[in-house]
Structure 1
Amino acid sequence: MTLDALRLEVPDIIDEQCVPQSELAECFSNARMASLEAALEQVVSLLFRLNRSTMTLLERQRALQNFSDEYRHYSLSQQSHTPPPVMYIHLCSELAIGFKRLLLQILQGRNPSRPHLAWCLYMAQHFLAQTQLRHYQVYQEPPPSLWRDSHLLYWIGEHQACLDEPVAAAFKPAPSPTLRGVYQQMLLMALSNPFHLHEGECLLLFSALAPITGLARLLPWDAEDDVEGPIVDLSESRPCLSLDQSVTGDPQYLRRFELGALLVALHEPAPLRTAAESKVLNHVQQHWMGRQQRRHERAEAPSNCDLLVGLNTIHAQLLGQRPPRIEVQVIDTSPGGARILCHSDRAKALQVGQLVLIVNSSETPTLALVRWRHLNPAGLHIGLRYLKGLPRPVWLRRAPVAQTHPGLLQSTPAIGSGWHHGLWLPLGQFVEGESIWLQLANSNSQKILPLPASNLSTPLVSRHPMGLG
């Protein structure tokens, strides 16, 4: 199965004659003079017809902007602890439908601008988030289609590089200002055991999450990554896989929900966070990673060590050269990884997905991958995932006497006998199926091998399983 925008759930066009654009303002004004229930019913009826009518992109966009303004008016009456009216939930759902249909029209056009696309994706995701939130307020499970569409909007945003495009949207309760943030706001709401929250706490939690939820990351799936945490299947009709569910989905749609940076930020001073918001965050965070929050026990063992950052620097270190190092402080460790703290000026070098080598005076150097990072007044906090195995420097060529390229061979003993090998390369330096000449740094011989598909990649490096015989 391939995820694409055509899977977005929108109703069929029935060419029903909708209210002309010029008459919308008068209809809205007349509705406001009625009771809240009657007013919402009138507005939802208008939007229902509009969503099923043929309109140009510009006409639909202007109409939806008008309905969004009207939504802001009615949302002011929905900030109390009382459950929202059924028609208000329908209004959120129909606004999501409208922006999904607008998104399809934008994608069918020629070369849509990224800000325009990001805005439409965000608006559709925001109203799906509101629909989810209002269902939780009345203690109802959101429909499965809500999660299918939410995952798909994230997928489109990921492939269109729109996840972190900021969008100014003055809604109440406040959503996160990016597509990534508001989507992860939905995931965290779902993971917070919402049906056990008291009345009013859903709104409180949604607002409390808004400033910090963008710090989390959905990382590519890797079966060897044994760090505990939620797993999202973007092709499923639910927020995350259950704790006891085996992972059987297509790896290209699987993501591990990395919460490390968010959990650090959660315990930082936050002057704008109210005491009630802090209380509800502290209450729900225990649910975010399930009943067993960590597979490996974390040991607080402050110490100092050095980091070699980047594939080329690690390659030089393993060859016995003396490349520059970064001094860091280890905060805590576990068999699966470590949390470190370093000076904030290292933020540019230590990106998520960067390959590093941990070096200290008493232990064998350890290869690791940056999982998450968070910057605060104390410095740059980094979460590292250990990569098991022995790292060795190798040289790669496209021909026996062509230019050399550095690589790292990560070798792990296999059960019984032999070794598993993974070849680390800069992302995009070679292509799948290309024949490469591989030479170990301490050997004069070369071996020609076809480069297999990557089994782990980040924005900076990729790892390819190699059979060296």
Structure 2
Amino acid sequence: MTLDASQLDIPDALQTDSVNQTALGESLSAARQLPAEAGLEAVLGLLVQLNRSAMTLLERQRALQNFSDQYRYYATVACASVAVEPALRLCAELAIGYKRLLLQILQGHKPSQPHLAWCLYMAQHFVAQTLLRHYQQYREPEAALWRDSHLLYWLGEQHHCLDEPVAAAFSPTPADTLRGLYQQTLLLALSNPPHLHPHESQQLFSALAPLAALARLLPWDAEDKSDGPLIDLQCAQPCLPHQQRPQEGHDTLRRLELGALLVALGEPAPLRSRAESDLLERVHHHWLGNDQRRHPRTPQQSDCRLAIGIAAIHAQLLQQRPPCTPAQVLDIGPGGARLICPAHAAQDLPIGQLVLLIADSDVLALVCWRHLNSEGLHLGLRYLKGLAQPTWLRRTPSSQPHLGILQSTPKPRQGWHHGLWVAHKQFTDGENLWLQLPNAVSQNSLQLAPSNLASATVSRHPLELP
């Protein structure tokens, strides 16, 4: 198969009426006066119409630059008021617009290299933003997104535009060349995004901006035994699975050479925040295709239920029959299980959520990764072994109780290890509290020890009990 710009995923231009630039500018100005979400929907409607209309190259370019300014506004000034889905559709439609503009440029008289590089970059940028928003929502990107991303890179390679610098003031920060931007998105996809919090995907994307162009996509053949992900530029996935190594090389196969990037990761970077450094340190081993599964898994098809969050787990342990979410176990291992549950449960099951897996025996667990697709919400659970008990915590012996979960694991011949699960930041380290166990008349006073495991929703504190 030969790659060609005509293979870009672009809807047909069915409307022959030309778009009035003056009226378009007035409509965009009027949209700014509306509430953020209504304004975004109005802008999106105008862009959908423009992308399916016949326009000259100059008219389309000028209009898309206006819509890019609208994107900056809704991605920054109005971001707190904008729903996720319309923002994702805006990125996807902007990508369509710049891809159509790219075809017009390529079909014209020998374009200048800076002009072509700019258009390739803008199309790649909005494809990247659409992919980023899919990863933030733990959704499977549409197949066309990765096909287009690879194809835009290939076109840049063919036209020698990969390293042409482009000034683009977007947030989160993109790399400033087509090579860097494409590899920035590729490295994000290789960083195991189902294990990242939504804000970490965006933080990682920005952290990769000054580094991504240091990697190189090199031609590959069957004799190449080097480490590094293998990318097929005509496939609808970021890279080939490790077990899917082809028997022979072809023109669209590339190996991602990470040597220079890995060296740069260890060098001083005064402009990189501590959080960004920690995040890069945490994810970079995934780029080499290291096995992410530490325990063997056994396929298993069985129904179960999930009590989600401390309040529901507390009620379930007291046999109060709280509402639980139905789920199905897909495979199990010593460290945890993989489940699938209805997609609507996604809002209650962020990474780091505490759950009680209710099956033949009840197991306390943490959500360690998630992935949303047409089948439903896939979850990876990390088991928290031990006995779970409901507890009540008070700041004074007679004050309002707060709910907690006590996790107790036997020590060999030495009693028990205890850990107290509470809502994240509900209490401060060192705070004096009163703890009451079920069926206990008296309360135990304790000083809350620093947390030894925390997520965005819960934290666990080691506990000494008499």
Shared fold (TM-score, shorter chain, > 0.5)? yes
Residues 291 and 93 from structure 1, CA distance in 2 versus in 1: closer, same or farther, beyond 3 angstroms? Answer: same
Q: Using the alignment, how far apart are the partners of 1:192 and 1:12 within structure 2?
A: 35
Aligned positions of 1:306-385 closer than 5 A: none
Residues 14 and 252 from structure 1, CA distance in 2 versus in 1: closer, same or farther, beyond 3 angstroms? Answer: same
Say if 1:165 and 1:179, in contact at 8 Å, map to a contact too: yes
Q: Deviations over 1:319-347 (max 9, x none)?
A: xxxxxxxxxxxxxxxxxxxxxxxxxxxxx
Aligned positions of 1:75-86 closer than 5 A: 75-77=75-77, 85-86=84-85
Say if 2:74 and 2:82, in contact at 8 Å, map to a contact too: no
The residue identity in structure 1 corresponding to 2:49 is R
Aligned positions of 1:20-419 closer than 5 A: 20-77=20-77, 85-248=84-247, 251-291=250-290
Residues 280 and 83 from structure 1, CA distance in 2 versus in 1: closer, same or farther, beyond 3 angstroms? Answer: farther
The residue identity in structure 2 corresponding to 1:22 is T
Question: Shift of the alpha carbon at 1:32?
Answer: 1.7
Question: Shift of the alpha carbon at 1:132?
Answer: 0.5
Residues 250 and 7 from structure 1, CA distance in 2 versus in 1: closer, same or farther, beyond 3 angstroms? Answer: farther
Question: Shift of the alpha carbon at 1:25?
Answer: 2.4
Q: Deviations over 1:350-376 (max 9, x none)?
A: xxxxxxxxxxxxxxxxxxxxxxxxxxx
Say if 1:181 and 1:213, in contact at 8 Å, map to a contact too: yes
Q: Using the alignment, how far apart are the partners of 1:55 and 1:79 within structure 2?
A: 31
Question: Shift of the alpha carbon at 1:63?
Answer: 0.4
Say if 1:28 and 1:43, in contact at 8 Å, map to a contact too: yes
Q: Using the alignment, how far apart are the partners of 2:167 and 2:157 within structure 1?
A: 20
Say if 1:19 and 1:46, in contact at 8 Å, map to a contact too: no
Say if 1:83 and 1:138, in contact at 8 Å, map to a contact too: no
**What is residue 7 of structure 1 aligned with on the other side?**
7
Residues 61 and 73 from structure 1, CA distance in 2 versus in 1: closer, same or farther, beyond 3 angstroms? Answer: same
Question: Shift of the alpha carbon at 1:35?
Answer: 2.0
Question: Shift of the alpha carbon at 1:199?
Answer: 2.9
The residue identity in structure 2 corresponding to 1:232 is I
Structure 1 runs of 4+ aligned residues shifted over 3 Å read 16-19, 77-80
Taking only the aligned residue pairs, the percentage that are identical comes to 62
Q: Using the alignment, how far apart are the partners of 1:213 and 1:245 within structure 2?
A: 25
Question: Shift of the alpha carbon at 1:222?
Answer: 2.4
How many residue pairs match? The answer is: 292
Say if 2:61 and 2:101, in contact at 8 Å, map to a contact too: yes
Q: Using the alignment, how far apart are the partners of 2:248 and 2:16 within structure 1?
A: 41
Q: Using the alignment, how far apart are the partners of 1:211 and 1:172 within structure 2?
A: 14
Residues 121 and 248 from structure 1, CA distance in 2 versus in 1: closer, same or farther, beyond 3 angstroms? Answer: farther
Residues 248 and 73 from structure 1, CA distance in 2 versus in 1: closer, same or farther, beyond 3 angstroms? Answer: farther
Say if 1:96 and 1:127, in contact at 8 Å, map to a contact too: yes
**What is residue 417 of structure 1 aligned with on the other side?**
none
Q: Could you tell me the TM-score, scaled by structure 1's length?
A: 0.60
CA RMSD of aligned residues (A): 1.7
Q: Using the alignment, how far apart are the partners of 1:202 and 1:17 within structure 2?
A: 41
Say if 2:91 and 2:129, in contact at 8 Å, map to a contact too: yes
Residues 41 and 248 from structure 1, CA distance in 2 versus in 1: closer, same or farther, beyond 3 angstroms? Answer: farther
Say if 1:18 and 1:46, in contact at 8 Å, map to a contact too: no
Structure 1's unaligned 5+ residue stretches are: 294-469
The residue identity in structure 1 corresponding to 2:10 is V
Structure 2's unaligned 5+ residue stretches are: 293-466
Q: Deviations over 1:297-337 (max 9, x none)?
A: xxxxxxxxxxxxxxxxxxxxxxxxxxxxxxxxxxxxxxxxx
Say if 1:230 and 1:240, in contact at 8 Å, map to a contact too: yes
Q: Deviations over 1:108-129 (max 9, x none)?
A: 0111110000000000000000
Residues 65 and 83 from structure 1, CA distance in 2 versus in 1: closer, same or farther, beyond 3 angstroms? Answer: closer
Q: Using the alignment, how far apart are the partners of 2:47 and 2:126 within structure 1?
A: 14
**What is residue 327 of structure 1 aligned with on the other side?**
none
> Aligned with 2:243: secondary structure?
coil
**Bigger mean CA deviation after superposition, 69-78 or 155-164:** 69-78
Q: Using the alignment, how far apart are the partners of 2:55 and 2:18 within structure 1?
A: 10
Say if 2:18 and 2:55, in contact at 8 Å, map to a contact too: no
**What is residue 327 of structure 2 aligned with on the other side?**
none
Say if 1:220 and 1:255, in contact at 8 Å, map to a contact too: yes
Say if 2:231 and 2:238, in contact at 8 Å, map to a contact too: yes
Aligned positions of 1:429-440 closer than 5 A: none
Q: Using the alignment, how far apart are the partners of 2:105 and 2:198 within structure 1?
A: 39
Q: Deviations over 1:32-64 (max 9, x none)?
A: 222222111111110000000000000000000
Say if 2:222 and 2:249, in contact at 8 Å, map to a contact too: no
Say if 1:37 and 1:85, in contact at 8 Å, map to a contact too: no
Say if 1:89 and 1:131, in contact at 8 Å, map to a contact too: yes
Residues 96 and 67 from structure 1, CA distance in 2 versus in 1: closer, same or farther, beyond 3 angstroms? Answer: same
